[in-house]
Amino acid sequence: MKRAGLVFVPTPAVGHLVSTIEFSKRMLNLSDRFSVIILVMKSPFGVAADQPNTSQPVPAASHTHIKLIHLPTVDPPTEFESVEKFLGDYIDKYKNHVKDTIINQVLPNTSQIAGVIVDMFCTTMIDVAHELKVPSFVFFTSGAAFLGLLLYLQKRYDQVGKVFEESDPDSIVPSYINPVPTNVMPGFAFNNGGYISFANHARRFKETKGIIINTLVELESHAVHSLFDGNENEQSQAQPHVYAVGPLVDIKGKYEVQSNLTKVDKIMKWLDEQSPKSVVFLCFGSSGSFDETQLKEMAIGLEQSGQRFLWSVRQNPPKGTMATPGEHTNYDDFLPHGFSERTKGMGMWCGWAPQVEVLSHRAIGGFVSHCGWNSILESLWFGVPIVTWPLYAEQQLNAFQMTRDLGLGVELSVIYRKDGGDFVTADEIERALRRLMEGDGEIRKRVQEMSGICRKAVDDGGSSSAAFGSLIEVMLASLKTKSG
């Protein structure tokens, strides 16, 4: 018997693809009625989003019922008003390719399409689902609180018709426990192109049969419940049902970029020699980097703190480009004079680092992070408390939520705009690291408790497994309706 097809359209970025694959694997483990087809776009930023691991170029190949289809290349937009609008316009160019691929390559090999699941940036593909008369769902790869913010921003824009200004007062956003300061709003909230792009995405979310979020109710209970309560009493279009199915974490690090396995072995060997929970890991994601002045200050702060450290250091891309950070060829360009000798045996610095493997190591006692949502979920899964240093996108909001709403992180910085010339001093870094590693342990205790809760949520009978079950029932019901 042919399985019903679930077509995924992820944003062309490694983090989004990895979450999609983890979600797909979980779906297939829970039901044998589906096969998964992931339509892969080429990244407009010069990154092979479909090849996150050079030693494993097709990460889904190990699962019989997951298939990746690489879509034809399209030219990126020639105009650039904001990253968000640029990405949205680029993805829109793939619409005909997605429709043609479903008709010509998916439908002939499946009994029928059970649903088109579009990433949070790919809402233009909802039109394809409408044309093919199949249900659509949104896969939201960030947290429930940020989803609530997007819905709030869309409603606000419809009411006042303008972007934020730095002088605006705090906002009462239903998905956050505390009022949200204007200065932790993402950069896109202050420019027309980015704001309108996200407002349009949020508006289109409401056209789908459901919004699937990479979170768990126990972590974001306030945010998730605010979404259920969202607009029940309003005359506007009702919000689709929300399914909190996370954490969707690549706990084995199978899809991480690995440019040099010898370097990975060196990192893991060094960690093996350290005491349990004695090392602070500094890592800022695939796009996180700093100029040499800030890097030098980080080194001074690390040395002053007296903590053991593993520091993933990336080089800023050339100004005016959208390239990803590169590797430093000479660390002496930014390390303080004599730093290497003074910290010998206490610390290790490297370029890219295998984040999941490192976080899961017994030696890691803290994580200085850019607060990308995947990184937050990974840190919680492994029970490693975060020191927040957000850099871009919604990371300031994630840092605000982790430290002030949930009490699950140590606040080094919540308000940080690299492009705005913000700077974190060595003394601030030292204080945050000492608080994390030598403090009263309350945050560490809460994070370790949340680690257990995360694991229970995805087990049989857990909240996320139950949400998966409800989602599968909805998808199967749509198939019965069509066949009937």
Looking at residue 435, its pLDDT comes to: 94
Mean pLDDT of 95-110: 95
| Residue 365, helix vs strand vs coil | strand
Would you name the residues annotated as active-site residues?
16, 119
Looking at residue 61, its pLDDT comes to: 45
Looking at residue 483, its pLDDT comes to: 58
What are the distances in angstroms from CA 255 to CA 35, 49, 57, 431?
A: 21, 11, 9, 34
Summarize pLDDT for 318-328 with one digit per residue, the tens. Answer: 776 666 787 88
Average pLDDT across the chain, whole number: 90
Give kind and range of the element (H or E) at residue 100. helix 95-101
Q: Which residue is listed with tokens 């956003």? A: 173
Mean pLDDT of 435-457: 95
DSSP 144-167: HHHHHHHHHHHHHHHHH-S---TT
Looking at residue 356, its pLDDT comes to: 94
Looking at residue 439, its pLDDT comes to: 83
Mean pLDDT of 57-77: 80
Summarize pLDDT for 156-196 with one digit per residue, the tens. Answer: 999 999 999 999 999 999 999 999 999 999 999 999 999 99
The answer, yes or no, to whether residue 54 has pLDDT greater than 80, is no
Listed range (84-98, 157-171, 240-254, 464-478) with the worst mean pLDDT: 240-254
The answer, yes or no, to whether residue 36 has pLDDT greater than 60, is yes
Nearest Cα residue to 364 out of 346, 383, 380: 383
Mean pLDDT of 105-109: 92
Q: Which residue is listed with tokens 């990336």? A: 314
Rounded CA gap, 91 and 341, in Å? Answer: 49
Mean pLDDT of 202-207: 96
**51: Cβ–Cβ under 8 A, 6 or more apart, which residues?**
57, 58
**296: Cβ–Cβ under 8 A, 6 or more apart, which residues?**
334, 335, 336
Enter the pTM of the model: 0.92
Query: What domains, with CATH codes, occur in the chain?
Result: 4-248+460-483 (3.40.50.2000), 261-453 (3.40.50.2000)
Percent over 90 (pLDDT), the chain: 74
CB atoms within 10 A of CB 473: 11
Looking at residue 257, its pLDDT comes to: 53
